Chain A
Amino acid sequence: MSRLLIAVVTLVIVSFAVFFATALLPGDTATILLGQSATPEAVAGLRNAMHLNDPAYVRFLRWIAGLMQGDFGTSYANNRPVASLIGGRFINTMKLAGLTAAVSVPFALSLGITAAIWRGTPYDRIVTVATIGIISVPEFMIATSAVLLFAVYLRWLPALSFTSEIRSFHDALRAYAMPVVTLTFVVSAQMIRMSRAAVVETLNTPYLEMALLKGASRPRLVLRHALPNALGPIANAVALSLSYLLGGVIIVETIFNYPGIAKLMVDAVSTRDLPLIQTCAMIFCLGYLLLTTMADIVAILSNPRL
């Protein structure tokens, strides 16, 4: 319960930070919108119309109140409500993220846990080195490598996935393959490392030594004794890694020209479309907070002492 409270408090602080970062820093919105050649009268008029002359905290409260009611404001760039711009794209991004999570979580956890079971073996070392390599490399490099490999050399897939509409499962597979593969790589590396570390940590405890001295086999040690205790840290690892997904999505959507919310946001940054940026930022932060709070709850539920 207190976890939820903390999450809410954090969300308020975050919204505060997002709003003031975008709204209070230099650059007059009205001037930006009307361009450098606008007359001072026109600028003043627009400022009035947009309530830009109100004190910052009033605008902040108005913005928060709007968010609560589902009113995300109006895009500066094309005067459409932010909600309508976001709607479909939000679903697209969720599809991409969900698909990636569905692939990467089982993949990464099984690699991480098996690496921990066979710690010190060549298998473990290969996994460790590979994850270090992937973590060290920027997402765009993985994406461009994927394009080079699958589109340029192998010619299996189109370089830009979302140029045409999707009609069949085959199309969908072709379209989603590269973004999902790229994101899976990005997210899994971190998750493998952290879940391995979590299991290894519990493997070093006296109660695992005790279980070993009772004659338990290696799989039994890990599955029965280590895993239940590593569940909290593993949930944490999954949540944290999936939050990397949010960062990865920004790059991947841009590279593959995927019509998602992150691409929308990057475009909004170029046009300095503040209401759109604020809303997108809040969605991302909310997603992040949901994930970490869920991980905390799993950790608490899995521990009989809490």
Chain B
Amino acid sequence: MTDVSAPSPSGRSAYRINLVGLVGLMVVLFWGVVAALAPHLIPHSVGEIVDTDYFGPMSRELWFGSDYLGRDMFSRIMVGARYTVGISVVALTLAGFTGIVLGMIAAVSGGWLDMILSRLLDALNSIPSKLFGLVVVAAVGSSIPVLIVTLSVIYTPGAYRFARALAVNVNTMDFMVVARIRGESIFYLIGAEILPNILGPVLADLGLRFVFIVLLLSGLSFLGLGVQPPYADWGALVRENIGGVPYGAPAVIFPSLAIASLTISVNLLIDNLPSKIRDRGAEA
């Protein structure tokens, strides 16, 4: 509801918004590259004790200081990116794939299949995510495969709901009726008619879900229930070094900053995507 006198966005501010998105994209790409190449980039081995002092300050040798055992924080964060980004991406892919495919199938077939799927996944969704993580870890212990499966199970219902809501809208379109009376199979309907129409918003939504996965994984690791030693993701790095809080040690600040930089960048990127991609038919 703008009025006549409301200033229309000028060309400059439109450009700046894109710049913000670009910065987000750069940071996301940066962490992607770091995660892929970490072992070749780190100056010290992650287990090597390089500092006689613990919670050492930032220095020319140890850019991010040293941790509670005197290990190089810079190297540990670089390698931690592998676990945080890697686990999250795999879990997101699993959750996204199952959620979106099931969502489209439910929307297209409707009826009892839709009802059962929606009810089941809604119930799953009504277990708070951290709690779900805790329960599973309590039952089967924590390992990387368990974390991946748990995270993907937790975030499947969300992807399902979002994809289903969009697909339901598309499904009411006449071209779906036309395709149906042409005699097309359900796989053609979801793959060729629906998917291209919801892909943009669905990918944007997956981006947001990625943020949630990273946060949950970090939270679990922070509680000591996520990635287990000797491996350490960013959440685990914060937990290891939580004793450094009273000294304001870089060892506890930098892993937190790493998480924040990744999640904020993803959010900025998505918020500044061209509205054509981001526009959503329905809010899940």
Contact = CB atoms under 8 A, between A and B. Distances in A.
A9 B120 CA distance: 10
Contact of B126 (A136, A221, A250, A285): A285
Interface residues of B, number: 48
Nearest to A151: B246
B148 interface: no
Contact of A288 (B120, B126, B271): B126
Nearest to B2: A120
B77 interface: no
A133 interface: yes
A147 interface: yes
Chain A interface size range: 35 or more
Given A138-B218, A269-B138, A152 B245 contact: yes
Nearest to B122: A10
Interface string B106-150: 000000000000011011101111110011111111000000000
B222 A250 contact: no
A151 to B, nearest CB: 8
Given A136-B267, A140-B238, A251-B219, A285 B127 contact: yes
Contact of A141 (B211, B223, B260): B260
B1 A147 contact: no
Contacts of B246: 151-152, 159
B43 interface: no
Interface string A259-274: 0000001101110101
Interface in A194-212: 197, 203-204, 208-209, 212
A120 B10 CA distance: 13
Contacts of A266: 134, 223, 225
B118 to A, nearest CB: 11
A103 B164 CA distance: 35
A159 B246 CA distance: 8
Given A254-B223, A266-B223, A288-B126, A132 B271 contact: yes
Given A21-B139, A135-B267, A269-B137, A204 B1 contact: yes
CB-based closest 4 A-B pairs: A13-B123, A136-B263, A25-B139, A269-B138
